[in-house]
Amino acid sequence: MTNPIQGPFPYTRFRRVRKSAATRALVRETRLSVGDLIWPVFVCDGDGVEQPVASMPGVMRRSVDKIVEAASQAFDLGIPAICLFPYTDPSLKTADCAEAWNPDNLSNRATRAIKQAVPGIAIMTDVALDPYNINGHDGFVVDGEILNDETIEALVKQALSQAEAGADIIGPSDMMDGRIGALREALETEGHTNVCLMSYAAKYASGFYGPFRDAVGASGALKGDKTTYQMDPANSDEALRLVARDLEEGADMVMVKPGMPYLDICRRVKDSFGAPTYAYQVSGEYAMLQAAFQNGWLDADKVMMESLLTFKRAGCDGILTYFAPEAARKLAKS
């Protein structure tokens, strides 16, 4: 961008356009709307269950019937999509992760129930083995190594089961090499041509995921760490190479994860590719803000909305955020 031509002070006074809400609105460069929001939700077994996640104040694990109610509320607020994450019974976690592609697993049951009750809301699902893996990893583990190609075969089966259940957007979060191409080919071959792929293309091996792992019950199961397949937080150019590959393999949308600590990556991705770009305001970001809100250290409404606006300013087309319902209500009043 070239420098705009402007006169010297006092002919140019930047405060002129800031003097009222009306003039500030006229020159505002970035806008946040409810259509930018995707709400991540956690589904668990049972009936009538709403179980608080201790490390994520205000966030619940919900049984399928309660997830349907939540989806209906989200739709009424104008939120266009929700993203499902299952809290899998530990007895169903195995080394072969077969529950991941069970047509009647929690994620698939919730998808069908929501589609029947709230057909107008888009459903995003997660493709990775960690909720079903006795080792807590996103892929198969053999002798301490996370296997890439064998994992992709399982991810294809998982994604097809989700598409058959009615998922609109499939989000591969595993970070295995080559999985986008394999998933796209399988979806096309099996007739799921309109199912979107939102690739977790630049997913970092971050310390901000801890509360999420509590929410899905993966914390205790995880053996080791995920640094051999998730990105090094020190790398930026690598993110662009990963995004380019995933777009070439058939991703419709790409995601940067985590969010606020990686706004520079969001901007680079959007400027480099112009593709639909999303960020995930992850559990650790949400938890630390909530802690500050509850202690009275930060203004909850102001900081929540400011945090979401930063993603839009960085070039994101949308944000996955646990604040989605609160932000939607706030936007409706603005």
> What are the E-state strand segments in the chain?
37-44, 50-52, 60-63, 81-86, 122-127, 141-142, 145-146, 169-172, 196-203, 253-257, 277-281, 318-321
203, 268 in Cβ contact below 8 A? no
Residue 220 confidence (pLDDT): 65
Residue pLDDT, tens place only, 133-186: 999 899 999 998 999 999 999 999 999 999 999 999 999 999 999 999 999 999
pLDDT band at 79 (very low <50, low <70, confident <90, very high): very high
Mean of per-residue pLDDT scores for the chain = 95
Statement: residue 118 has pLDDT above 80 = yes
pLDDT in tens, 201-236: 999 999 999 888 888 877 666 778 899 999 999 999
Q: How far apart are CA 110 and CA 41, in angstroms?
A: 11
pTM given for the model: 0.95
Q: Where are the beta strands (DSSP E) in 191-264?
A: 196-203, 253-257
Please state the rounded mean pLDDT for residues 10-36: 94
Q: What pLDDT was estimated at residue 32? A: 97
Q: Which residues of 67-96 are buried (b: 16+ CB within 10 A; e: fewer)?
A: bbebbeebbebebbbbbbbbbbeeebbeee
Give the start-to-end residue ranges of the domains of the chain. 37-333
Residue among 203, 226, 270, 312 flagged as catalytic: 203
257 is catalytic: yes
Selecting among 115, 257, 270, 312, the annotated active-site residue is 257
Above 60 in pLDDT, residue 1?
A: no
pLDDT at 219: 66
pLDDT at res. 183: 98
Q: What is the CA radius of gyration of the chain?
A: 21
pLDDT of residue 216: 85
Q: Is 330 a catalytic residue?
A: no
pLDDT over threshold 90, residue 302:
yes
Residue 2 has a pLDDT of 65
Q: Residue 231 burial (CB < 10 Å; 0-12/13-18/19+)?
A: buried
Average pLDDT over residues 85-96: 94
Q: What is the pLDDT of residue 37?
A: 98
pLDDT > 60? residue 237: yes
Contacts of 85 (CB under 8 A, 6+ apart): 40, 41, 42, 43, 107, 126, 131, 212, 215, 216
Q: Please give the CATH number for the structural domain made up of 37-333.
A: 3.20.20.70
